[in-house]
Amino acid sequence: MIDSNWRRLPTGYFTHQLVELPNPLENAPESPERIEAIETRLMAGGVDDILRRVDCGPAPRETVLLAHDADYLADLERASAGDAEALKRFSEPDTKVGPDTFRCAMASAGAVVRAVDELFTRTVKNAFCAVRPPGHHAWRNRASGFCYLNNVAIGALYARARYKLERIAVLDFDVHHGDGTESILAGLPQFRFFSLFQWPLFPFTRMEPTPENVVATPLAAGAEGHVLSDVVEHIWLPALEAYKPQLVLLSAGFDAHVEEHMAQLKAAEIDYARMTRRLVRAAGELCEGRLVSVLEGGYAVRSLARSVLTHIQGLVRND
């Protein structure tokens, strides 16, 4: 008999208190207002009280080191403490390091690790991690594009190590290519990385040829929103069905939205609803619903908040 009791569990909302701290770069689009807008919208949508809300602490250092080099992590910590030599490693404006950067990044990774644990101890059926800073541009040894630690890669590598998984799918529908995630997971046989992204666009980095365990779908500027859900339906889902993942991690960036100024795709809430519904259904059929969605980009705070509400409603639903 198929055990479907997991469907009665709540969706988890994993966050941390440091999301309220400002970006070290003044007037950065990656700001505390993003999470604030999401929370306000969840409350207005009546969704917040049916979620299991968990305020998370930092990821254990040894877990972060599954995805990052020790000297890089040490430099991030030293740079946050003001060490001039270490700060040279973070010289780009969009990876500026301030006094709180290290602990904010560790808390974001911690939320994803906690979400993975709660999925496997079955206190939640699936999860959304409302975290900042985001992570998918962070490489093993390099920060990039508002990202310092690769939250989703840390979660994936942790799940592999802790729960001995052999097939983990990492999906990325942020409008920017998840170059950090690709670079960390490329060539590792226990992972498959699926990403769609506007191309060419920041970070202008892709591995050529595409690694065997990577499915990359570049989209031209101006693509309509349904193109994203078409990729999910016609490329990701058949590949997932063949792959049979034991866990799905999702880099959920909402900056392909038509109201975003950083990119030129034309997605709307309905497209995020469609993609979410299909992925939740696939996770339900393939791996007892085990899906951890991790916030990446999305900078137009009003459309971000509406899109995340739609996305979480899709995680909550069971059909």
Question: What are the residue numbers of the active site?
Answer: 137
DSSP one-letter string for 217-271? EEE-TT-BHHHHHHHIIIIIHHHHHHH--SEEEEEE--TTBTT-SS---BB-HHH
| Beta carbons of 298 and 309 less than 8 angstroms apart | no
Q: 4: helix, coil or strand?
A: coil
Binder of Zn ion out of 172, 182, 255, 269 (CB under 5 A): 255
Quote the least distance from Cβ 66 to Zn ion, whole Å.
24
Nearest residue to the partner Zn ion, using Cβ:
297
Among 142, 176, 257, 277, the residue binding Zn ion under the rule CB under 5 A is 176
* Closer CB to Zn ion, 133 or 297, in the complex: 297
Give dist(CA 270, CA 284) in Å, integer: 21
Taking contact as CB under 5 A, which single stretch among the options 204-212, 217-225, 265-273, 292-300 is the one that binds Zn ion? 292-300
**Rounded CA separation 43/256 (Å):** 24
Q: Shortest approach of Zn ion to residue 111 CB, angstroms?
A: 19
Looking at 185-193, 218-226, 276-284, 295-303, which segment touches Zn ion (CB under 5 A)? 295-303
Q: CB-wise, 158 or 254, nearer to Zn ion? A: 254
Closest CA to 250 of 271, 224, 226, 276: 276
Q: Of 8-16, 84-92, 229-237, 293-301, which segment contacts Zn ion by CB under 5 A?
A: 293-301
Nearer to Zn ion, 34 or 68 (CB): 34
* 124 vs 268, beta carbon nearer Zn ion: 268
Alpha-carbon torsion (190, 282, 299, 207), positive or negative? positive
Q: Does 30 bind Zn ion (CB under 5 A)?
A: no
d(CA 2, CA 14): 28
Exactly one of 29, 289, 297, 314 binds Zn ion (CB under 5 A); which one? 297
- Paired tokens of 251: 């880099």
Residue 133 contacts Zn ion per CB under 5 A? no
> Taking CB under 5 A as the rule, does residue 180 contact Zn ion?
no
